[in-house]
Amino acid sequence: TVTDCLEELRSTYDAVICEGAGSPAEINLRRTDIVNMGIARAARFPVLVVGDIDRGGVFASFFGTTALLSAEDQSLVAGYLVNKFRGDVSLLEPGLDMLYGLTGRRTYGVLPYAHGLGIDEEDGLRVSLRGAVRESVVAPPHGEDVLRVAVCAVP
């Protein structure tokens, strides 16, 4: 079983780090979730919630994720980690302070956006667009601006 494998890893190594998949706050999947809070709960692992700030809404994501977890799972959340940050970290500090005030949990780090790592985006749409995009140029009825519209054909 997964827990047997986990125990074997714990007896062999000094540290075991488990990476979840998707979001631990998918409340429709909670009963069968083993890859996120299920394994953390079984192992009593402390959890860091990682948020992708490049997509926006990282504070809402942290707060909402924590709020949607059960009380037992919330007790496992040690804090947060901001991923894919671009810019001046000092601009984040007021938000990090507010997040701490709301959740009582600290942010353990801010990781910069790193280009060219060659790592696939998890759960992302990866479609080759060669030949799948049709582009049209439409002249708006009032004005000389051009509106460019592209439509992706996704199977």
Residue 142 lies in a domain: no
For residue 21, the model assigns a pLDDT of 85
Structure-token pair, residue 71: 């009380």
For residue 144, the model assigns a pLDDT of 58
Residue 139 lies in a domain: no
For residue 14, the model assigns a pLDDT of 86
Residue 128 lies in a domain: no
Residue 141 lies in a domain: no
DSSP at 120: P
For residue 150, the model assigns a pLDDT of 52
For residue 95, the model assigns a pLDDT of 96
The β-bridge partners of 52 are 83
Residue 121 lies in a domain: no
Residue 98 lies in a domain: yes
At residue 54, the 3 state secondary structure works out as: helix
At residue 112, the 3 state secondary structure works out as: strand
Residue 27 lies in a domain: yes
Burial level of 35, CB count in 10 A (0-12/13-18/19+)? Answer: middle
Range of the domain at 80: 2-115
For residue 148, the model assigns a pLDDT of 55
For residue 102, the model assigns a pLDDT of 97
Domain tally, the chain? 1
Q: Which residues of the chain have pLDDT under 70?
A: 118-155
For residue 80, the model assigns a pLDDT of 97
